[in-house]
Amino acid sequence: MKHIRIFSYILFLLTQHATAQVILNADGIGNTYELINSVLAPGNNVIEAPDCSHTPFGRHIDEIFDAELNTNVFRFHIHATEDDDRCINTDRQRNEIKVYDKSPDNLKAIESETVIYKWKFKIDAGFQSTPNFTHIHQLKSVGGLYEATPMYTLTTRKGTPDKLELRYAETSSQVTLKQTDLTVFKGIWVDVTETIKYGVSGTYSLEMNKVSDGTSLFSYANNAIVNWQTGADFVRPKWGIYRSLISVSDLRDETMLFNNFSIEEVAPLSIDHIHADEARIKISPNPVNGTYISIHALPYSYNAIRIYDHLGKLMNHIHTTSNTLDVSSLKSGTYFMILKKDKNTVSSKKLIIK
């Protein structure tokens, strides 16, 4: 049974090739809305900002240079008293970017797809949350019975101490899957990887690490979770600041930084491909007791190696043509190694570290 489960993991964890990857990076001061729209919905508008209610301020998303990342980043502004929700709702305020129905198909997740979302964010050291909700990311259905309720939400909440919560809804009722002290996230850049297999037999994982040294700040994984709401047409990601104004006295004017947005659809390997590669590719020793492994991949030619853990987290991505690989950084467990030639997957192999 364990062997069967491992092979079922491979079907969605490993990729023959990326069917689509879209990247949005800040590129410098000016034309920020135009840049975002050109990537997430060319010729259309994915910005949900409170510009209409706070016209003297102007655009609520701009770009600045960040010395720590040594690159330009997106800065999202939200104001406690002037801003609302697009001049529609006054009990909440929103400054978000999104994927929606006018976005390219490869940005809209559909049932049976596996999608990897990546981004970086930084909240201010003095960041304040409401006791109601302060969302910074959502995966939200479009169409169906429950499109009003986000399927996954990252939200901050005032408390003792303030919390970062991962919220989930299969239907119209949300539950908290995991929460942690928000303090460790304040004033630092955080790298996020969210991997989701969409469907009634879905999988989900979330990894949030400190950019400066890779320290894990938050993680969650579930290999048996319903990731499709009844009747949905597709699922879209959203990022930004969306917060309640019911307790406006708890809030202040905030800025939040984002960058390096990535949406990547991945295509699973077939069982036949896996069995063929298992027979042709040799790793020695395997299981591994030492520091190095030797890869015997003829007749394949590769120039990069990716190693994933059993939850689908990318553990290592090395550009190399060497047939010797240092695996000393990997803890004991089962991994899956992908040999790449440029953008194409040429082979796969299960790797066991003792």
User: What is the domain-level CATH number for residue 348?
Assistant: 2.60.40.10
Number of domains comprising the chain: 2
Q: Which residue has the higher pLDDT, 94 or 279?
A: 94
**pLDDT above 80: residue 279:** no
> 24: closest CA among 193, 264, 261, 258?
261
Task: Encode pLDDT of 222-234 as tens digits.
Answer: 999 999 999 999 9
Least confident of 144-148, 182-186, 231-235, 296-300: 296-300
Mean pLDDT in residue range 5-32 = 64
CA neighbor of 311 nearest in space, from 216, 204, 192, 176: 204
Q: Which residues contact 231 (CB under 8 A, 6 or more apart)?
A: 143, 144, 145
Distance in angstroms (rounded) separating the CA atoms of residues 229 and 233: 9
Residue 278 pLDDT greater than 60, yes or no: no
Do 196 and 219 fall into the same domain?
yes
Q: Is the dihedral of CA 224, 233, 196, 20 positive or negative?
A: positive
Residue 231 burial (C-beta neighbours within 10 Å; 0-12, 13-18, 19+): exposed
294 lies in the same domain as 197: no
pLDDT band at 281 (very low <50, low <70, confident <90, very high): confident
**What is the pLDDT, as a whole number, of residue 184?**
97
Give the domain extent around 342.
271-353
Q: Which of 74-88, 110-124, 169-183, 318-332 has the lowest mean pLDDT?
A: 318-332
Cis peptide before 268 (omega within 30 of 0): no
Whether residue 109 sits in one domain with residue 79: yes
Residues 247 and 332 reside in one and the same domain: no
Q: What is the pLDDT of residue 274?
A: 44
CA distances in angstroms from 105 to 25, 101, 140, 239, 352, listed in the order given: 20, 9, 15, 19, 37
Q: Say yes or no: 129 and 249 in one domain.
A: yes
Residue 260, in any domain of the structure:
yes
Specify whether the backbone of 333 is left (phi greater than 0), alpha (psi in -120 to 50) or beta: left
Looking at the fold, whether 201 and 339 belong to one and the same domain comes out as no
Residue 20: inside a domain:
no
| Coil vs helix vs strand at 113 | coil
Count of beta carbons in the 10 Å neighbourhood of residue 239: 24
